[in-house]
Amino acid sequence: MKRLFVAIKLKPDENFLRIYYFLKQNLKHDLIRWVEADKLHLTLKFLGETPNEKIPQIKQLLSDFVKDKKRFEIAFNKVGIFGSSYNPRVIWFGIKNNKQIKEMGENILLHFHENGFRSDRQNFVPHLTVGRIKKIENKKYFQSVIDRVKEEEIQKFDIEEIILYQSILKPTGPVYITLGRYRLS
């Protein structure tokens, strides 16, 4: 069994890192597990614990999926939280309205569902998780930090490929192993 997911790898630029480190620095007194900058990715489909014998089928599904998909650009332009202001759970970077990434995410979920893989519980909401919140000391201060960057232009990314990853969970954080790369035309 391998823990698998399908994602787009993101390479942060200087502006992205400025906002990311601003949040980390200003929220350092809170208990937040930050996603390491070199592990940032936009998940398209979480497969979870998957039998090894299913991996060739998954690779074929991804090859078939990208055949008619063209490269495109996305732009991250907002910072937000999942959960309520009373109980925030996740800090995320959001994408400017982009029909292509929304369609890609929804279509990959459908493609896998039609081929015998269980559906995800929710609709595809394109976002980049940057921090998982365990405990906030001062919720008012926390919200003021988020508000200072919530509408900033963060970064544009060219989407050229999707990647099948294996995730190995370790106490020091997850290790991601690339099992396949699927280039868009």
pLDDT one-digit tens code per residue, 103-126? 999 999 999 999 999 877 677 889
What mean pLDDT do residues 156-183 have? 95
Instruction: Using the predicted structure, report yes or no on whether residue 175 has a pLDDT greater than 70.
Output: yes
Mark 78-112 as b/e (b = at least 16 C-beta within 10 Å).
bbebeeeeeebeebbbbbeeeeebeebbeebbeeb
> What single-letter DSSP state applies at residue 116?
T
Q: Look up the domain containing 165 and give its range.
A: 2-183
Looking at residue 85, its pLDDT comes to: 81
Amino acid at 7: A
| Catalytically annotated residue among 29, 41, 111, 113 | 41
Amino acid at 137: E
Domain tally, the chain: 1
Looking at residue 121, its pLDDT comes to: 66
Is 111 part of the annotated catalytic residue set? no
Instruction: Using the predicted structure, report yes or no on whether residue 19 has a pLDDT greater than 90.
Output: yes
Looking at residue 118, its pLDDT comes to: 85
Is 29 part of the annotated catalytic residue set? no
| Catalytically annotated residue among 29, 111, 113, 127 | 127
- CATH code for the domain of 101: 3.90.1140.10
